[in-house]
Structure 1
């Protein structure tokens, strides 16, 4: 009996191990998370009470009449104004170079109230964003502070030179202008 019991335990253990190794076993037990496919989730029209109670109930799988086809939904989305009413295009507003549909689309999009110099505004904003991003990239690439361009004049020595030239009666441009020499930084200076 001891051998038979050991054999049963061994068989039961191997079966449990084999079943635990299967991916479908965990799903069948409900141990895995089932998230919905975001591409299959669609919005449904709200439920409403029909005005006529003698209507037959809808059949499962039948298209909903209030939703319409995707072409009808697109048409409603494009050709309705903010109040939900269809946009009406009068004959006086029609451009002879545009069709009635194009003119209706422009009216619904608010083309009459467009900023006249929008290209200049967009160009200015884009240039500003590009300059800011270039400065950011420069700070990342050239992390150590760059020396300002030009030479630095030593103010005390220049004042002395100008006073000497004035005392001797010479022109202020006589003699070399004293400059401060910048010390070159070592390649790894400032890292640590």
Structure 2
């Protein structure tokens, strides 16, 4: 009986120490151990066009109010989301 207690004592002490440290984090224990994740809000996530290299290293002076040339208009993004086939036909023709 003593040998089984002595065998599991380090494991129990390690688990208890982990829970004590997680309790000191000021938040939920499940969040501290990574069992609970924050999912992004699908209405606040925006897509950005990928970065690309310029054709030459002679860059133009940036303007703070200029739009990125690779960004699509919000109207076209909505059209692609609602009906991808119509958006593809409009872009090619």
Does TM, scored on the shorter chain, surpass 0.5?
A: no
Q: Into which bin does the TM-score normalised by the smaller protein fall?
A: 0.3 to 0.5
Comparing both chains, which one has the higher relative contact order based on Cα–Cα distances under 8 Å and sequence gaps of 6 or more? Answer: 2
TM-score calculated relative to the size of structure 1: 0.22
